[in-house]
Amino acid sequence: MAPLLSLRGALVGDNVEDCDRISTILLELYELKQERPSLFQKGLYTIKERAANKHARFQRMLDFQGPETGTMELLQAHKDECMSKPSAFWNYAPLLGPVGLELQARIVMCY
pLDDT tens for each residue of the chain, 111 residues long: 566 678 888 889 999 999 999 999 999 999 999 999 999 998 899 898 889 999 999 999 999 988 888 888 888 888 888 888 888 777 755 544 555 677 777 777 776
d(CA 69, CA 102): 8
CB 34 within 8 A of CB 27: no
At residue 69, the pLDDT reads: 86
d(CA 93, CA 72): 16
Residue 105 burial (CB count, 10 A): 20
At residue 89, the pLDDT reads: 75
Question: What digits encode the pLDDT tens for the residues 25-46?
Answer: 999 999 999 999 999 998 899 8
d(CA 1, CA 89): 62
At residue 20, the pLDDT reads: 94
C-alpha dihedral over 17, 22, 24, 26, to 10 degrees?
-160
At residue 15, the pLDDT reads: 93
Q: Is the dihedral of CA 56, 61, 63, 68 positive or negative?
A: positive
Give 73: exposed, middle or buried? Use CB within 10 Å, 0-12, 13-18, 19+. middle
